[in-house]
Structure 1
Amino acid sequence: MALCAEADIADPGSRGFVLQIGEAFFHGFVVKKDGEIAGWVDRCPHAGFPIAMELDRYLTPDGSLIMCGWHGAVFEPLSGTCVGGPCAGGKLTPWPVEAGGGIIRTA
């Protein structure tokens, strides 16, 4: 399933997605950094809240890390590993995404 054009996400940058699957909704986000992309389920492993408090605001102001807006946990954008905050050592749940032909897709 196509999500967006690769050019729609800045580098570094992020974008959230809500997909309807039957009657359920899936919340995920894609991060682009150094030309690579990674997809994550939009839930912090610390308390289960969504990462972003504002639409598409998943990264720190300098774009170097993913930051949970609720409790300040910070994560490596491409590995999902928590490197600081209340869930240090934890990981975000991956969401399989890929880029090809200028389009970002998920399975």
Structure 2
Amino acid sequence: MSEAIPADRPRVWSTPAGVRLCAETDLADPGARGFVLQIGDKWFHGFVVRKDGAVAGWVDRCPHAGLPLAMELDRYLTADGALILCGWHGAAFEPISGACVAGPCAGGRLTPWPVEVRDGAIRTA
């Protein structure tokens, strides 16, 4: 189970471009994987989703309550892989657009994290 981010752990909300996250083949379709990057003395928490061949990156923070979406490591998607699901309050998001389609933040969006597939790897963009 994920824990709340300690208050004394400074956060950053963006990353530099070109950071290799994983091989493209390491991410199932549909699939999702979380990443924590240290940027100087601060930390970035994000996740990458792959669905129908498309890849999207999101800041790991629900727009409803500000908590990380997954309650368990890398469990961002519904069982059928159709939607991103916030394990805390049930908000559901479209994997590639980040639009909230159900739950307490319906009509809202996830915060994008620019990523790209280049040279067989998923990288920050």
**Per the alignment, in what secondary structure is the counterpart of residue 30 of structure 1?**
strand
Aligned-residue Cα RMSD (Å) equals: 0.5
Aligned residues: 107
**Per the alignment, in what secondary structure is the counterpart of residue 71 of structure 1?**
coil
Structure 1 residue 65: Cα displacement: 0.2
Using the alignment, how far apart are the partners of 1:97 and 1:65 within structure 2?
A: 19
Structure 1 residue 102: Cα displacement: 1.1
- What TM-score does the superposition give when structure 2 sets the normalisation length? 0.85
1:14 to 11, 32, 40: 32
1:75 to 93, 101, 104: 93
For structure 2, the 5+ residue unaligned runs are 1-18
Q: Which structure features the higher share of strand residues?
A: 1
Deviation per residue, 1:8-55 (Å, 9 max, x gap): 010000000000001110000000000010000000000000000000
Structure 1 residue 56: Cα displacement: 0.4
Deviation per residue, 1:48-90 (Å, 9 max, x gap): 0000000000000000000000000000000000000000000
**Per the alignment, in what secondary structure is the counterpart of residue 17 of structure 1?**
strand
**Per the alignment, in what secondary structure is the counterpart of residue 66 of structure 2?**
coil
For structure 1, the 5+ residue unaligned runs are none
Q: Identity percentage over the alignment? A: 77
- What TM-score does the superposition give when structure 1 sets the normalisation length? 0.99
Partner of 1:23: 41
Structure 1 residue 101: Cα displacement: 1.7
Partner of 2:58: 40
Structure 1 residue 100: Cα displacement: 1.5
Using the alignment, how far apart are the partners of 1:10 and 1:76 within structure 2?
A: 17
AA partner of residue 61 (structure 1): A
Using the alignment, how far apart are the partners of 1:34 and 1:2 within structure 2?
A: 22
Partner of 1:57: 75
Highest Rg: 1 or 2? 2
